[in-house]
Structure 1
Amino acid sequence: MYMGKSRFGSARASYQNIDLSSRIEGASPHKLVAILFDEVLKTLDAMAAAAERGDKGQVASRQARALSILGGLEGSLDMERGGEIAQSLASIYREARRLTLKAGRECDAEQVVHVRAMLHDIATAWEAIG
């Protein structure tokens, strides 16, 4: 039986939401940040692919999700206890948001890939300390 493209997309989105919810339940604060990194990297991959296709609707949708996750990452920083490291990460997240906004406006996959590379390095380091 063929499921139309919109029904398949809806089913896939439901599965992804259930998968994300199950990963979040009972996760430690460290693991929650790791999940945010994983989600923002996947979202930026999808945004870059949409930009390459010229699909401005999907670029905007993925951009909004990436910006939301970046806000969550910055909001998770403990500026008092984190000191200089937290300040540096906040600067990186703000720059990532700025570049993500610019990439979305310009529908520029190359800029999205640059943002992803910035965050991938941090995500890899985060996983290594976990």
Structure 2
Amino acid sequence: MFGSAARAHYAPAGARYRSVDVSTRIEGASPHRLVAILYEELLTRMSVLKGALGGGDATRRNDSHARVLAIIAALNTGLDHDKGGDVAGLLATLYAETGRLVGLAVRDRDVTPLDDARGIIADVATAWDQIR
């Protein structure tokens, strides 16, 4: 519907809106909800990365790749291995595998490993949403 020139023109406004949206969702959120927001953002950023890989947009690919890795790192850093025990260890392993698959996807410009990584995170996010 909109050409690339129109998308480029409105991209800064879209980015500001998205930043406000995320900030609004974070304010007052419980720790459980904050993790859910990270999963949502990770899945969104993985979708953007997939589009960038398919479209050959190096700038968007690099930005999305960095954001995906930052969110994975945040999720991994937030694990409490003392209280979480085996579950925290399993999540750390899943996050490491997700990061590895994302790296392969970017290196090879192949969305298949990215789809696999997205599937892992989608499963974890679904399980997380069921905990209340």
Normalising by the smaller structure, the TM-score range is: over 0.9
Select the residue among 17, 20, 31 that pairs with 1:18: 20
Give the drift of 1:79: 0.5
In structure 2, the partner of 1:84 is 86
Q: How many residues align?
A: 128
The amino acid of 2:49's aligned partner reads: M
Provide, for residues 13-51 of structure 1, a one-character-per-residue CA deviation record: whole Å limited to 9, x for no partner: 000000000000010000000000000000001111111
The amino acid of 1:111's aligned partner reads: P
Give the drift of 1:4: 4.7
| Structure 1 Cα separation of the partners of residues 63 and 114 of structure 2 | 14
Which stretch of the first structure deviates more once superposed, 5-14 or 70-79? 5-14
Select the residue among 88, 101, 107 that pairs with 2:109: 107
| Structure 2 Cα separation of the partners of residues 30 and 5 of structure 1 | 35
Moved over 4 A (4+): none
| Structure 2 Cα separation of the partners of residues 8 and 103 of structure 1 | 28
Bigger relative contact order (CA 8 A; separation at least 6):
1
| Structure 2 Cα separation of the partners of residues 63 and 119 of structure 1 | 15
In structure 2, the partner of 1:121 is 123
In structure 1, the partner of 2:44 is 42
The amino acid of 2:75's aligned partner reads: L
Q: Secondary structure at the match of 2:83?
A: helix
Give unmatched runs, 5+ long, in structure 1.
none
Give the drift of 1:103: 1.1
Contact 1:48–1:110 (CA<8 Å) still a contact in 2? no
| Structure 2 Cα separation of the partners of residues 107 and 78 of structure 1 | 34
| Structure 2 Cα separation of the partners of residues 117 and 45 of structure 1 | 11
In structure 1, the partner of 2:63 is 61
Percent sequence identity over aligned pairs:
38
Please, what is the CA RMSD of the aligned residues?
A: 1.3
In structure 1, the partner of 2:95 is 93
Give the drift of 1:71: 0.4
Q: TM-score, normalised by structure 2?
A: 0.92
